[in-house]
Amino acid sequence: MALTKQEWLALEAKAFKLRMDLLETTNMAGSGHIGGGSSVMDIMTILYYKFMNIKIEDPNWEDRDRFILSKGHAGIAYAPLLCDLGWNDPEQLKTFNLTGSKMGIHLDSNKVVGVDASTGSLGHGLSIGVGTALAARLKGKSFKTYVVLGDGELNEGSNWEAAMSAAQYKLGSSLITIVDRNGAMIDGMTEDIMGLEPLVDKFEAFGFNTLRIDGHSFPQLAAALENALATEDKPTCIIADTVKAQGFGAKAGDYRWHYGAMDDEGFEQAKKDQEAYYLGRKAIAEKEGE
């Protein structure tokens, strides 16, 4: 079922708010993973505000869908979302990554409400996701496990061991993997550091139903997630092509903004860039939404 125009516009507004919260949090912290945080924001937005089965009033509901942010350094984007849901005090964002804060740069599941797995040591999230999906099967539960991988962490061999396991145990729609394919990592572009392509062919060879989409298009994300939820004979991997530091003007696509800081002038310009980016996306939704 395609997104309605109203749903599309609501998601655009929410993603804009969360990107602005990401910007504010980065400014208060003095620095942060701006690049990967902004590239993954649309993915997290549509999962939490459209697809995931959760209870706002009970973040620890036993039958909730699980979400594992394997690229845990994007916690600076995840933390504002978890505050927006009402699960954590937004005041905590003012101390993000500062000494004594519950909001560390890699979110701790024992300290931040709503975090299903502590991540940040890259290459572990898909293995945790496979285990979580298997636990659902053993307990007779129907919850889904969504895992978001960074493309840079696909250098880690543990991901491919987990992928083989997911196919071997026929996890189907109980495990949905999304690769935030922004093409950049801390040291440069992924294809220069450790080539990943042809990524679709690789996941297909490992037994996945594999889809490649524009990771900044809510209609394409929605269609891919619906496909994944309807596929029972094999697990699904959605390769979401995104842009590092999306919406941040000249910073967009620049691997050097994997992690960064801004002065006051840069902060004000970034806010203007985000507003312009949102208005452009909103206009597309207004024109193309049904």
* Whether 39 contacts 76, CB under 8 Å: no
Q: At CA 86, angle to CA 80 and CA 87, rounded to 5?
A: 85
- pLDDT tens, position by position, 176-224: 999 999 999 999 999 999 999 999 999 999 999 999 999 999 999 999 9
Tell me the pLDDT tens digit for each residue of 122-166: 899 999 999 999 999 999 999 999 999 999 999 999 999 999 999
When pLDDT is averaged across residues 246-253 and rounded to a whole number, the result is 92
Q: How far apart are CA 129 and CA 126, in angstroms?
A: 5
Dihedral pair phi/psi, residue 209, rounded to 5°: -75, 115
Report the distance separating Cα 217 and Cα 267, nearest Å. Answer: 26
Q: Report the pLDDT averaged over residues 56-66.
A: 97
Helices (H), the chain: 5-29, 34-46, 75-84, 125-139, 157-168, 190-193, 199-205, 218-229, 264-288
Output the CA torsion sign for 16, 278, 184, 3.
positive
- Domains in the chain, start-ordered, CATH in brackets? 5-54+62-288 (3.40.50.970)
The pLDDT score that the predictor gives to residue 1 is 57
Share of the chain above pLDDT 90, in %: 95
Per-residue model confidence as pLDDT tens digits over 103-116: 999 999 999 999 99
How far apart are the two ends of the chain, measured CA to CA in Å? 12
Give the max Cα distance, the chain: 54
Q: Quote the distance between the C-alpha of residue 232 and its chain's center.
A: 23
The share of the chain scoring above pLDDT 70, in percent, equals: 100
Q: Which residues of 130-156 are buried (b: 16+ CB within 10 A; e: fewer)?
A: bebbbebeeeeeebbbbbbbbbbbbbb
